[in-house]
Structure 1
Amino acid sequence: MQRIRYSRYLKSIIILLDLLVIASVFIFFFINGNADLIHDKDIWYQNSFPLLLLISFWILLSGRTRIYNIRRNITYTVFIERIITHFILFVIGLVLIRKVSNNQFFSSELSWLSLYLFFFIVLTRSIIYFIIKYLRSLGINNRNVMFLNENSSTIVLKNILKERKDYGYKIFEFPHETIAIDELQLFWKKNGIHTLFLPLETTFDKKTEDDIFRLAEASKIHISLIPNISQSDLFMYDLGYIQTQPVLDQTTYPLDNYSNFLLKRTFDILFSMIVLVGICSWLFPIIAIIIKTTSKGPVFFVQRRYGFHEEVFNCLKFRTMVVNDDSATKTTAENDSRITRFGKFLRKTSLDEMPQFLNVLKGEMSIVGPRPHMLSVDDYYKPKIGRYSLRSMTNPGITGLAQVNGLRGDSGDIEVEMKKRALADAYYVRNWSFVLDLVIILKTIILIITGDKKAN
């Protein structure tokens, strides 16, 4: 088995850096407001306990927010979401401590202190995050893995690991078609394999499968089972316990909770009204005039798409193509001749989606959610990808987790890319949080400003 020597040390270094930032910011603000007490040893001694209390609170809170459970395949979106969630809870705790404490250490201007603390925490953590990603993309700190008995689901995962070199997985191919346990053991030892990826349902006979599991346990090889994404029950159940007895409970999703739904809907309405009044009120006429003067046809393109619980609604967009008969059945291809010159600009900047804020106000869409597809696309993939309809458990969005992670467009292997997109949508439905929505919106704004290379 491959020895993972540095993970614990790295985590300890990250924790120490965070604590150093917290201590430095609080001490700076304390000194700034109490410059005359800087040489008073008694004051420093008295304030050592509040500082220790803050540090302890930060560490205890991390057990809930998991900001130090940094898996190598964590995306920057989820990474930032956890930091923001952790920071919000930390500041709430800080406000409560300040209310019940008269200690001078907590008397600093809380808004500026929080801003400085958030900035430096995000800065240091982001620098470390991208340095680690860069080193892994160069082949440093890789984890040696292999696949056996591949199927469509393992191919999707294998494709992801090959594309995302920054995840730091080095894939070794077993050279033999048949499985001989002695050869497998020798291969693991020679290449220092850490993880073996197996499909949940293998084509091995029972004896071979048992031998592989026993050998992996004896060799300290970590086994990851990959469920077949064509199975209809992939996301239907969560593992729970009644005392020590495991039971499979039907899954409930965060937005099934009415308070979460109300929070999301309230934000959608307020955000949409701000955008429509502040931006669209003057931008819409400009875009409309350019569309009408550069190509024949209507300003808006209206297409029927599936929404919440697969209810059909009319999705609004600015027209970016010449009027054609294939718009309801044919998806956009790279360098599509149907796209107008101005339409290409609208797609690149995602401005063609702006009319969908009207869909949001009507309750047909949300700011963030799985992107709605053409009816023909959904009807084609629903029987092919298990639990594909899970994406309809929430309103479709103007932007989404899949889009900000580059899972858009029709380049490459379309079947594989659609499976990746469906998995990203399923992750969003199962792991929704308000902070995750905010991070996705922020990443979308950055993509609009810089231009999305994968936008067709």
Structure 2
Amino acid sequence: MQRIRYSRYLKSIILLLDLVVIASVFIFFFLNRNQDLIHDRDSWYENSFPLILLISFWILLSGRTKIYNIRRNLTYIIFIERIITHFILFVIGLVLIRKVSNNKFFSSELSWLSLYLFSFIIITKSFIYFGIKYLRSLGINNRNVMFLNENSSTDILKNILKERKDFGYKIFEYHNKKIFKDELQSFWKSNGIHTLFLPLENTFEPHTEDEIFRLAEANKVHISLIPNISQTDLFTYDLGYVQTQPVLNQSKYPLDYYSNYLLKRLFDIIFSVLIIVFICSWLFPLIAIFIKLSSKGPVFFIQKRYGFHEEVFGCLKFRTMVVNAESTTKTTSDNDSRITGIGKFLRKTSLDEMPQFINVLRGEMSVVGPRPHMLVVDNYYKPKIGRYSLRSMVNPGITGLAQANGLRGDSGDVEIEMKKRVLADTFYVRNWSFALDLVIILKTILVVISGDKNAK
């Protein structure tokens, strides 16, 4: 059963829908302001050229902004970011075209035309985005995939694909551990396999691995290599070219650019000042009273943690435990007897983290970033998980991508859970954006309101 691969047709349909929206808005805009010219053929001919110019510029620009490269795991935030970037460049282009043509093309009320276009494009593309996600969750537009020579790295990916039905991957199990050419080809053809996931660290003999790659190429099966999370060398360099010679350049992350760092730092300061003035000013005294009533000891708990570039700083928290000698060496567990009554509430609602806005103002932390762990936890996992140290390339955060998605606490297999957190944190470091920070903050607020079941 050879599955028809129609992603390119889907992109073409989406592009055509966008062009229909652009043309419809342009025509509506023209007719709304020139009702007396509706039956004037010459006027229609005169305005057809600007419309063709508009459409051509949109298509050419899409090659740069990649708004039609919609990967199955593309998040809505990155999707919207691309549209906004595309649209800003598009409007700048329209202004330049209008200036170069001595105001001949497009209406003088260009801002209204841009607003109409932006509104309808956002609505249309959001409807398409969520529509495709919904159809894929129903099993429509699936991509058939398989795994070979599975290990812990492939298990993590496999679980993600099973949980996220909206990604649209259908996994076919290949149970024969021995690789036979005819049997493998028959399996691919009968199941319409599109992608073969193969661990980079596999146990195949070199000649067997070469044969798999040759077979995949002959059968138009894509191969995706899954690196082991401990292989740090694959994530610290980007492939580049000097003329035709490939070279590996050390990766530069978004927050390495000063403009991005400055934007994030300014937001941290403004957001923290607002929180401290309008919330902490009255909330801190109340929490302090309850902590003092619950047990003897200080209101605040200061714990040494690693910050930016692994510099140690004092992380502020409300004390949620009775004073004990193991507070800096032993992590919490289910029904931990050290946690006080008010402490359970503070942990459940994440209110115990509120004093860390002071750390943010001091520049030791950020509102959003990888959550800082106890020093003993960092020292334990650093040699076990290769990309662990990448978390320290940015300031630690009061909340983070992992926490906003429920990856916290010590439930289940602790080491597997920690690997998932590290994957989320490294994704954040490599893909930071201001919009991503805003979404994480919004999701965190919703988690705090509803209560985090993984909080301990």
- TM-score, structure 2 as length reference: 0.86
Residues 303-322 of structure 1 correspond to what in structure 2 (within 5 A)? 303-322=303-322
- Who is 1:208 aligned against? 208
Distance in 2, Cα, partners of 1:44 & 1:215: 56
Counterpart of 2:198 in structure 1: which amino acid? L
- Unaligned 5+ residue runs, structure 1? none
Report the 3-state secondary structure (helix = DSSP H, G, I; strand = E; otherwise coil) of the residue aligned with 1:197. strand
Distance in 2, Cα, partners of 1:14 & 1:376: 51
The Cα offsets for residues 186-218 of structure 1, whole Å up to 9 and x where unpaired, read as 222222221111111321112211111111111
- Who is 2:384 aligned against? 384
Report the 3-state secondary structure (helix = DSSP H, G, I; strand = E; otherwise coil) of the residue aligned with 2:386. coil
Residues 172-251 of structure 1 correspond to what in structure 2 (within 5 A)? 172-251=172-251
* Number of residue pairs the alignment of both structures matches: 454
Residues 251-270 of structure 1 correspond to what in structure 2 (within 5 A)? 251-270=251-270
Distance in 1, Cα, partners of 2:109 & 2:235: 48
Shift in Å, 1:230: 1.2
Distance in 2, Cα, partners of 1:358 & 1:224: 44
- Unaligned 5+ residue runs, structure 2? none
Checking the alignment, whether the CA contact within 8 Å between 1:98 and 1:107 is kept in structure 2 is no
- Who is 2:395 aligned against? 395
Counterpart of 1:169 in structure 2: which amino acid? Y
Shift in Å, 1:380: 1.4
The Cα offsets for residues 222-278 of structure 1, whole Å up to 9 and x where unpaired, read as 111111211231312111111111111222222222333223222322232233233
Checking the alignment, whether the CA contact within 8 Å between 2:365 and 2:398 is kept in structure 1 is yes
Distance in 2, Cα, partners of 1:286 & 1:44: 70
Checking the alignment, whether the CA contact within 8 Å between 1:85 and 1:435 is kept in structure 2 is no
- Who is 1:412 aligned against? 412
Question: Compared with structure 1, are the counterparts of its residues 128 and 336 closer, same or farther at alpha carbon in structure 2 (3 Å cutoff)?
Answer: farther
- Who is 2:137 aligned against? 137
Distance in 2, Cα, partners of 1:383 & 1:331: 19
The Cα offsets for residues 376-418 of structure 1, whole Å up to 9 and x where unpaired, read as 2211111111121011011112222333334333333322222
Distance in 2, Cα, partners of 1:447 & 1:90: 37
Report the 3-state secondary structure (helix = DSSP H, G, I; strand = E; otherwise coil) of the residue aligned with 1:233. helix
Report the 3-state secondary structure (helix = DSSP H, G, I; strand = E; otherwise coil) of the residue aligned with 2:223. strand
Shift in Å, 1:348: 4.6
Residues 12-411 of structure 1 correspond to what in structure 2 (within 5 A)? 12-24=12-24, 34=33, 37=36, 39=38, 41=40, 45-93=45-93, 102=103, 105-108=106-109, 110=111, 118-293=118-293, 297-333=297-333, 339=339, 342-411=342-411
Distance in 2, Cα, partners of 1:116 & 1:337: 60
Q: Which has the larger radius of gyration?
A: 2
Which structure exhibits the higher relative contact order, with contacts defined as CA atoms closer than 8 Å and separated by 6 or more residues?
A: 1
Of 162-171 and 130-139, more deviation after overlay is shown by: 130-139
Distance in 2, Cα, partners of 1:450 & 1:30: 49
Distance in 1, Cα, partners of 2:282 & 2:28: 45
- Who is 1:431 aligned against? 431
Identity %: 78
Say what the alpha-carbon RMSD is for the aligned residues: 3.2
The Cα offsets for residues 293-348 of structure 1, whole Å up to 9 and x where unpaired, read as 55654433322211100011111233444555444334344665655555455445
